[in-house]
C-alpha cells in the first residue's frame, strides 16, 4: 500500500515537474517567486532548465547567468549568514575603535553581496580577473526521471548513468573569450553503469584493503595495483570517452611568448586557408579552432576530426575537412612542442555530483595548474577580499590589502612561508608520520612554530589561521576534531591550510537534495585564499611522500639556506630509512604547479589523484628571505 502511494505521488510530481519545465511562462514566474530567498532544492533545477532554453535561443550570456546561480544555493544561504554575523561583530567593535574598523566591516558587507540572491545577470566582474586565468564552469543536467531521483524520488541516478554536461569556458581579462558547449550522456558505458559508480566501487574496495589486508603484504600490494590500474582506466574514460574533443575546453592558456606566437601563427594560417576555400569564420569558430590547435597533441586523429566537424557543422566528405586534416598533418611535429608547454592557471567550477571525480588527473591537465571552487560566488568573494580585481592595478605596486596584509601580484595571492604553523600527529596514533616528518618540519620552522604528537588547543589553531599565512596539518581527516567546522566559519582566516589527512578535501552531501559540504567549503567561507586536501582515503606513507615533495618544491625544505646556516644535515640522507623522495632540482613557488608536480611522486596513482587544491592561485614568497 505504501509503495503504491509512493508511486502515485512520484507520478503526480513528475506531471507537475513536466508542466513547470515545459511552460516558459510558468517557469519564469516560478523562478521570480523564488529568487529573492530560494528555499527549495528544486530552484536549482528550474534555473538549469531556464539556462538550457536560453542556450537553445542563442542567449548564451543570459543562459550562463542562470547556470551560475544554480550552483551552491544552500551554501550561499550559509555564506550570507556567516558574512552578516562577521559584519555585525566587526561593526560593534568599530564603535569603540578606529575608522579602520568601520571600513573593515564595510568590506565584509561587500563580501556578503557576492552571495546575495538577485535576478540572474551575467557576472561582468569576470572581466576584471587576471587575463592569465581560465575559468571552466561545468554544470550537470539530469534528465526526466533522473531529475526526480536527484530530488529524492527513487534510487540515486549516479548508480545508473551520467548526466548531460554544460561546459562554459571564460578566459579572464578585458578581452576575454567566452564559449559554451553541451555534452550529451555518452553512449555505452562501464560494466558498473557509470564513471561515478565505478569510482565509488574503487574507493570502497580501497577502504577494505587498507582495513583488512595490512598483515598480508603480498595480497595488499596486488590489490593496490588493481585499484591503481582501475582508476587510471576511469580517468582515461573521463577524458577520452566522456569529454572526447571537448576536453580542450579545460586546457589553460599558454604562458611563454614563443608558444603563444606559434599558436597565433598556426591559427592565422588555418583561418587564411579556410577563407581561400570560401569559408568565412565566426568569432566562436575561431576560438574553437584555436583551442583545438592548442590541444592538438592531446587529441587522437578521430577526436580532432570530430571536433572540426562539430565546430564547422559539416560532414567528413567536405573538401574543406580533407584539406584541413592534411594541413595539420604537416604541422604535427611543430604542434607537438605545445604538449609540454607551460600553461596558466585553470579554475574549475564543478557541480555537486561530478565534483567527486579526479578531474585534475586526466593526462591533459596532469602538468597544468588547476584549482577548484564551489561556485563563481566564492570566486568573486575571494578575489574581492584578496583584492585581485583589475582596478587595483592603478594603485602602487606595493599596495597592501587592509584585510590580510598580503601583497597584490598580478596572477595570484602571495603568502609568506616564514609565517607558518604545523600540527603533526595530534591523535598520537601515526608514529610513522611523526618519525618521517617531524625532523623536516622542525628544521624548517623550528619547534616553537608547531606541535608534534600532542593535542592542540582550539585557540591555538584559531590564532594560527587568523595570524599566519600557512597552516599545515598532518593527521587523520581534516582536523575538524580539534576545530569544528561551525567554529571555523566564524573566523576571518588569513592562512592557506594544507590538510594532509584522509578525505580532508572531500565534499559530501547529507542526502541528494542538498549541496555537498566539508572542510574546503568552511575554509573558503572563512576567507582562506585556498586549501590543499585529499579527495578520499589515502595511506600515510604515500601521503607523506606527497607532503615532503610539496614542501621541497614550495620552500626548498631540504635545501634551504637556513639548514646550512645552522650546520644541520638535510634529512634526505635518511631517504632509504624513511622512504621519502629525494629533493627536486628546482623550486616551484606556485602552489598549483607544485601540487601538480607532487602527484607523480606517490607510488600509487590513487594517492596522487586524491590531491586537490581549492580556491585562488597562490604563490609562496622566497622562504630564505626575511618576509615576516
CA-wise closest residue to 556 among 518, 594, 529, 508: 594
Q: pLDDT at position 468, please?
A: 95
By CB atoms closer than 10 A (0-12, 13-18, 19+), residue 558 is buried
By CB atoms closer than 10 A (0-12, 13-18, 19+), residue 262 is buried
Q: CA-CA distance, 207 to 156, in Å (whole number)?
A: 22
CA-wise closest residue to 47 among 33, 72, 27, 61: 27
Q: CA-CA distance, 497 to 371, in Å (whole number)?
A: 14
b (16+ CB within 10 A) / e for 348-365? bbbbbbbbbbbbbbbebb
Q: pLDDT at position 394, please?
A: 39
- Does residue 489 contact residue 526 with C-beta atoms inside 8 Å? yes
Backbone angles phi, psi at 457, to 5 degrees: -80, 140
Q: CA-CA distance, 256 to 254, in Å (whole number)?
A: 6
- Report the predicted TM-score, pTM, of the whole model to 2 decimal places: 0.88
Q: pLDDT at position 408, please?
A: 39
Q: In this structure, are strands 178-183 and 164-171 parallel, antiparallel, or unpaired? A: antiparallel
The one-character DSSP state at 125 is G
Q: CA-CA distance, 183 to 302, in Å (whole number)?
A: 17
Averaged pLDDT, groups of 10, the chain, 628 residues long? 41 55 72 78 85 91 93 87 76 58 59 77 86 94 72 60 90 81 75 75 92 84 92 94 95 94 95 91 93 95 94 91 93 92 96 94 94 94 72 38 40 88 95 94 92 94 95 96 93 95 92 84 94 96 95 78 42 52 87 96 95 95 63
Q: pLDDT at position 513, please?
A: 66
Q: pLDDT at position 615, please?
A: 96
The number of residues making up the chain comes to 628
How open is the CA angle 168-62-13, to the nearest 5 degrees? 90
Q: pLDDT at position 564, please?
A: 42
Q: CA-CA distance, 611 to 535, in Å (whole number)?
A: 6
Helix (H, G, I), strand (E, B), or coil: what is residue 59? Answer: coil
Cell numbers of 168, please?
562554459
| HEC assignment per residue over 472-535 | EEECCCCCCCCCCHHHHCCCCCCCEEEEECCCCCCCECCCCCCCCECHHHHHHHCCCCEEEEEC
Q: pLDDT at position 411, please?
A: 65
Amino acid at each position: 500500500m505504501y509503495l503504491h502511494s509512493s508511486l502515485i505521488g512520484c507520478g503526480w510530481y513528475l506531471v507537475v515537474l513536466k508542466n513547470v519545465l515545459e511552460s516558459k511562462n510558468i517557469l519564469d514566474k516560478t523562478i521570480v517567486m523564488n529568487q529573492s530567498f530560494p528555499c527549495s532544492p528544486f530552484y536549482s533545477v528550474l534555473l538549469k532548465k531556464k539556462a538550457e532554453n536560453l542556450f537553445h535561443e542563442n542567449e548564451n550570456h543570459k543562459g550562463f547567468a542562470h547556470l551560475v546561480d544554480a550552483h551552491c544555493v544552500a551554501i550561499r544561504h550559509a555564506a550570507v549568514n556567516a558574512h552578516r554575523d562577521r559584519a555585525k561583530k566587526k561593526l560593534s567593535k568599530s564603535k569603540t575603535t578606529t575608522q579602520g574598523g568601520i571600513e573593515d566591516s564595510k568590506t565584509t558587507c561587500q563580501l556578503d553581496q557576492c552571495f546575495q540572491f538577485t535576478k540572474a545577470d551575467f557576472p561582468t566582474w569576470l572581466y576584471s580577473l587576471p587575463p592569465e586565468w581560465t575559468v571552466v564552469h561545468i554544470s550537470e543536467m539530469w534528465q526526466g526521471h533522473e531529475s526526480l531521483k536527484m530530488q529524492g524520488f527513487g534510487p540515486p541516478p549516479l548508480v545508473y548513468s551520467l548526466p548531460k554536461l554544460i561546459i562554459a569556458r571564460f578566459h579572464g581579462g578585458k578581452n576575454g573569450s567566452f564559449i559554451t558547449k553541451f555534452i550529451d550522456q555518452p553512449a555505452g558505458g562501464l560494466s558498473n553503469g557509470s564513471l561515478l559508480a565505478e569510482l565509488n566501487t574503487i574507493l570502497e574496495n580501497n577502504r577494505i584493503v587498507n582495513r583488512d589486508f595490512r598483515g598480508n603484504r603480498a595480497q595488499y600490494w596486488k590489490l593496490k595495483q588493481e585499484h591503481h590500474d582501475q582508476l587510471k582506466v576511469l580517468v582515461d574514460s573521463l577524458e577520452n570517452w566522456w569529454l572526447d574533443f571537448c576536453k580542450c575546453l579545460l586546457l589553460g592558456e599558454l604562458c611563454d611568448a614563443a608558444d603563444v606566437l606559434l599558436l597565433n601563427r598556426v591559427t592565422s594560417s588555418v583561418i587564411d586557408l579556410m577563407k581561400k576555400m570560401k569559408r568565412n569564420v565566426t568569432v566562436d569558430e575561431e576560438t574553437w579552432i584555436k583551442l583545438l590547435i592548442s590541444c592538438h597533441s592531446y587529441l587522437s586523429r578521430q577526436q580532432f576530426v570530430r571536433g572540426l566537424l562539430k565546430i564547422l557543422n559539416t560532414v567528413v566528405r567536405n573538401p574543406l575537412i580533407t584539406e584541413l586534416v592534411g594541413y595539420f598533418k604537416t604541422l604535427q611535429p611543430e604542434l607537438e612542442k605545445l604538449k609540454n608547454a607551460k600553461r596558466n592557471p585553470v579554475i574549475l567550477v564543478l557541480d555537486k555530483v561530478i565534483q567527486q571525480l579526479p578531474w585534475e588527473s586526466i593526462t591533459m591537465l596532469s602538468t597544468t595548474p588547476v584549482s577548484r571552487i564551489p561556485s563563481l560566488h566564492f570566486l568573486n568573494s575571494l578575489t574581492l577580499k584578496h583584492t585581485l580585481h583589475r582596478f587595483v592595478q592603478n594603485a602602487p605596486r606595493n599596495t597592501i590589502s587592509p584585510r590580510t596584509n598580503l601583497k597584490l601580484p598580478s596572477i595570484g595571492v602571495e603568502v609568506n612561508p616564514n609565517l607558518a604553523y604545523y600540527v603533526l600527529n595530534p591523535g598520537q596514533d601515526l608514529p610513522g608520520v611523526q618519525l618521517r616528518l617531524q625532523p623536516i618540519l622542525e628544521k624548517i620552522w623550528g619547534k616553537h612554530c608547531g606541535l608534534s604528537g600532542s593535542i592542540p588547543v582550539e585557540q591555538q589553531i584559531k590564532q594560527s589561521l587568523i595570524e599566519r599565512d600557512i597552516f599545515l596539518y598532518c593527521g587523520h581527516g581534516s582536523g575538524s576534531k580539534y576545530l569544528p567546522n561551525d567554529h571555523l566559519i566564524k573566523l576571518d582566516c588569513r592562512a592557506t591550510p594544507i590538510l594532509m589527512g584522509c578525505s580532508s578535501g572531500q565534499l559530501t552531501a547529507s542526502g541528494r537534495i542538498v549541496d555537498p559540504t566539508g572542510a574546503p567549503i568552511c575554509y573558503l567561507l572563512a576567507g582562506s585564499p585556498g586549501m590543499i586536501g585529499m579527495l578520499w582515503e589515502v595511506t600515510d606513507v604515500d601521503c607523506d611522500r606527497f607532503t615532503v615533495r610539496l614542501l621541497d618544491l614550495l620552500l626548498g625544505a631540504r635545501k634551504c639556506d637556513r639548514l646550512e646556516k645552522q650546520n644541520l644535515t638535510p634529512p634526505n640522507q635518511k631517504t632509504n630509512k624513511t622512504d621519502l623522495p629525494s629533493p627536486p632540482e628546482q623550486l616551484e613557488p606556485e602552489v598549483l604547479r607544485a601540487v601538480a608536480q607532487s602527484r607523480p611522486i606517490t607510488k600509487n596513482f590513487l594517492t596522487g589523484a586524491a590531491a586537490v587544491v581549492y580556491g585562488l592561485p597562490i604563490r609562496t614568497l622566497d622562504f630564505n628571505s626575511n618576509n615576516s
